[in-house]
Amino acid sequence: MSSDLVIVYHRQPYEEVEENGKIVFRENSSPNGIVPTLKSFFGTVDHGSWVAWKLAEDTSNPGFDRVVKISDSYGDYTVSRLPLTAEQVRGFYHVTSKEAFWPILHNFRERYNYDPVDWPNFRAVNRAFAEAAAAEAAPGAVVWVHDYNLWLVPGYLREMRPDVRISFFHHTPFPAADMFNVLPWRKEIVESLLSCDVVGFHIPRYASNFVSVARSLFDVDDIERVRVDDDFISEDTGLTERTVPVVVVHNGRRVNISTAGVGVDVDYIRKMAALPETDKHVREIRAEMDGQQLILSVGRTDYTKGGVEQLESFGRLLEANPDLWGKVRLMHVSVSANRSMAAYAEIQDAIEQTAGRINGRFGSFDWTPITLISRAVPFAELVAYYRAADVAWITPLADGMNLVCKEFVAAREDEDGVLVLSEFAGAAVGLGSAVSTNPYSHRSMDRAILLALRMERNERQTRMRHLRKVVAKYDIRAWGEAQQQAFALAGKATTSGAD
Ligand code: GDG
C-alpha cells in the first residue's frame, strides 16, 4: 500500500527485540524524544511509511523482511528497512556524516576530516534511501527527510518522482558560507536541497546561512524575507537575526524555507514531574544534598556540547570561591553515543580526566564536587533531577536547538531553578530569560554560574515564569503544526505551476 506521508529517518521507529526466539517490534520504551513525535504524524494521513536502515551482511539477501507492517498506538504504518552492510554504515554515517559534516555544521573546521571520506559510498547509500522512499510514496505524497546524513536524498528522489512534495528538516545548525563551503561536495549537497519544496531549520540564523550558502554557489533569486517574531529576538545571544528568508527561487522553482524550532512534550514532562514516584525521588535527592546546591549538566558526549570547558569552569569556580567548598555539587551526565569513534573516545577521556583532577584537588572524604555519569539515566530519573536541581548548566559550544534546557524548564512546576544557557544553543534565541553565557569565554562562564548560584528567589521565579511560557507556547505540538503548514504550503507551490 502506498503512503501519503513517508518519513525518511536513519533510525528505525521502534525497538526490535528477540522474545522466545522470535523477533518482536516494541514501541520505544520512552515516549519522549523526536521519534514518537514524528510517528504521531501518521495519525494525520490515511497511510504512512517510515524508511530507515538495518544492518545486513549481504544486502541482496539480508535475511529479514525489507518491508514490515507495524501496528502500535500511533496506528498502522509501514516500515521499509534498507539493508546496509557494516562497512556502508561506517562510511556513510560514522565517517562522512560524523567526521566530515558534523564538525563543519558546528563550526569546528579544525576537526574536519576529509581523507577517509568515501563519497561514492555516501552517494550510493543516499540513492538507496531515495529509492526506498520512492517505492513507498503515493502520487503527490509528502516525503519528509531528516538531517544531514541524508542530504543527497532529495536530489535523487526529485529525479525518480517529480510528483512528490519533499520537505527536509535540519536538526543541527547550518553554518555560514565561509564554513560550509569547506566541504568539497558543497554544490552537490546544496543542489539536492534546492530540489526540495521545503527546507526546514530550527532558527532564523540557520535559514539565513543556508540561503547565503545557496547564493554563493548558484543563481538564486527572488528571496522573500519576513521580520522575525519578537519571541525569537534575544539581545543576549549571538544567534539572533532580525529578518528571515521564507522563499527562494532556483531554476524557476520556489523553495520554501521554514523556520520552526523543535520543542519538547511539555504535557508529558509535566505529568511525569508530578508523579508520586518522582516526588519521592526528588525528596531523596534533596535529603542526600543536605542543603548543598545542585548544579545539573546533561548532554551527549560530544565536543560540540562543551563538557570539558564546563568542567574547567567549575574548577575555576571552586578555586576562586573557597566558601563554596562542601556547599555545591555538580552532577555531570554525559552519555556516550558513539564510543567506537576516536573523536568521542578522546572527549570521554578528557571529561573523565578533568573531573578526576577537580575531584582530587578539592574533594574530601565526605564531599565529592563532581559526580560524573556516563551511562544513560532513565528519563523518569532525569526528570527528578531536573526538579531537584538549583541550576541547570547547559553550555554547548554549538547546538542546533538543545532540548535538555527545555525539558528542565518544563519540569519546573515550582517556578524555581535557574537555567544557565550557552548563547550558541539554538534554544537561546527564544529563551532570553535564561542566564546567558559564552562558553568560549572563561570570564563569562565563571560569572554566569556564580550569578546563578547566588540568585535571589524573586529573580529566579520571574525568569522561570517567563521561560515556562515560552517553552509551553513552542512545545512539540507547535513544531508539528508548523511542519504541517509547511507541507501545505509546498502543495500550493507545486500546484500553482511554479515549476
Ligand atoms: C540533535 C541536535 C537538537 C540526554 N541524556 C539522557 C537523555 N538525554 C536526552 C535528553 C534530550 C536528548 O537526549 C538530547 O537532545 P538534545 O537536543 O539536547 O541533543 P542531540 O541529541 O544532540 O540532538 C540538537 C535535536 O537534535 C532535536 O532537533 O535539539 O541540537 O544536536 O531529550 O533528555 N535521556 C535519558 N537519559 C539520559 O541520560 N533518558
In 336-416, beta strands by DSSP E: 370-373, 391-394
Q: Is 495 part of a structural domain of the chain?
A: no
**Low-confidence winner among 33-42, 137-146, 189-198 (lowest mean pLDDT):** 33-42
Tell me: do 282 and 253 sit in the same domain.
no
Is residue 295 located within the same domain as residue 227?
Answer: no
> Which three cell numbers, joined as nine digits, stand for 280?
519521592
Q: State what percent of residues in the chain have pLDDT above 90.
A: 83
113 vs 128: which has the higher pLDDT: 128
Q: What is the CA(434)–ligand 1 centre distance, in A?
A: 19
pLDDT category of residue 30 using cuts at 50, 70 and 90: low
Residues 257 and 274 reside in one and the same domain: no
Domain count for the chain: 2
pLDDT of 499 reads 36
Residue 499 within a domain: no
Whether the pLDDT of residue 38 is over 60: the answer is yes
Residue 31: predicted pLDDT: 62
Residue 6's Cα: distance from chain center in Å?
Answer: 20
Q: Given this model, what pLDDT does residue 15 score?
A: 81
How far is Cα 216 from Cα 152, in angstroms, rounded to an integer?
19
Residue 493: what pLDDT? 46
Please check whether residues 392 and 420 belong to one and the same domain: yes
User: 319-360: per-residue pLDDT in tens?
Assistant: 999 999 999 999 999 988 776 777 788 899 999 999 999 999
CA of 402 to the centre of ligand 1 (A): 7
Pocket test for ligand 1, best of 304, 375, 403 (most atoms within 8 A of CB): 403
Ligand 1 pocket, mutate which of 300, 373, 431 (most atoms under 8 A from CB): 300
Determine, yes or no, domain membership for 205: yes
Give me the pLDDT at residue 136, please: 97
* Rounded (10°) CA dihedral 425, 430, 435, 441: 30
Say if residue 225 is in the same domain as residue 307: no
Q: What is the mean pLDDT of residues 408-412?
A: 98
Domain ranges, residue 311: 266-473
Q: How far is the CA of 451 from the centre of ligand 1 (A)?
A: 26
CA 147 to centroid of ligand 1, rounded, Å:
15
Q: Is the pLDDT of residue 36 over 90?
A: no
User: For 33-42, 168-177, 386-395, which range has the lowest pLDDT when averaged over its residues?
Assistant: 33-42
Share of the chain above pLDDT 70, in %: 97
Ligand 1 centroid to residue 287 C-alpha, Å? 28
Q: Among 147, 338, 401, which is best to mutate for testing ligand 1, by the most ligand atoms less than 8 A from CB? A: 401
Q: Residue 391: is its pLDDT beyond 70? A: yes
Q: Is 496 a member of any domain? A: no
Q: Looking at the DSSP assignment, which residues form a beta bridge with residue 154?
A: none
Q: Is the pLDDT of residue 182 over 90?
A: yes
Q: 335 CA distance to ligand 1 centroid (A)? A: 10
- In the structure, what pLDDT confidence band is assigned to residue 497 with cuts at 50, 70 and 90? very low
- Does a structural domain hold residue 215? yes
Ligand 1 atom nearest the C-alpha of 376 is: 38
Side-chain half-sphere of 477: how many Cα atoms within 13 Å? 6
Q: What is the pLDDT of residue 496?
A: 35
Do 483 and 465 have their domain in common? no
Whole-number average pLDDT of the chain: 93
Ligand 1 centroid–CA 263 distance in Å is: 11
The C-alpha cell 538507496 sits at 128
Distance, CA of 396 to CA of 77 (rounded, Å): 36
Q: Same domain for 298 and 414?
A: yes
Q: Are residues 87 and 100 in the same domain?
A: yes
Q: Which atom of ligand 1 is the closest one to the Cα of 34?
A: 27
Report the pLDDT value the prediction gives residue 92, as an integer from 0 to 100: 94
235 and 296 share a domain? no
| pLDDT, position 341 | 77
CA of 1 to the centre of ligand 1 (A): 34
pLDDT given at position 495? 38
Residue nearest to atom 4 of ligand 1 (CA): 299
The band of 45, judged by pLDDT with boundaries at 50, 70 and 90, is confident
> Helices marked H in 106-185 — which ranges?
119-136, 153-160, 177-180
Residues flanking ligand 1, CB < 6 Å: 33-34, 171-172, 262, 298-300, 333, 335, 376-379, 382, 399-404, 407
Examine residue 445 and state whether it is found in any structural domain, yes or no.
yes
Q: Are 133 and 157 in contact (CB under 8 A)?
A: yes
Do residues 351 and 222 share a domain?
no
> Quick one: 137 and 175 in the same domain?
yes
pLDDT per position as a tens digit, 427-481 = 999 999 999 999 999 999 999 999 999 999 999 999 999 999 999 999 999 999 9
Tell me whether residue 34 is exposed, middle or buried, using C-beta atoms within 10 angstroms of its C-beta: 0 to 12, 13 to 18, 19 or more.
Answer: middle
Give the lowest-confidence range in 37-41, 80-84, 106-110, 280-284. 37-41
Residue 498 lies in a domain: no
106: nearest Cα among 114, 97, 115: 97
Rounded Cα–Cα distance for residues 429 and 239 (Å):
7
List the CATH number of the domain containing 335: 3.40.50.2000
- Tell me the per-residue pLDDT of 253-301, one tens digit each, with 9 for 90 and over: 999 999 999 999 999 999 999 999 999 999 999 999 999 999 999 999 9
d(CA 385, CA 408): 9
Residue 191 sits in the same domain as residue 307: no
Output the pLDDT for position 288.
95
How far, in Å, from the CA of 194 to the mean position of ligand 1? 28
Residue located nearest, by CA, to atom 10 of ligand 1: 404
Please name which of 218, 263, 224 lies closest in space to residue 244, comparing C-alpha atoms: 224
Judged by average pLDDT, the poorest of 271-275, 480-484, 494-498 is: 494-498
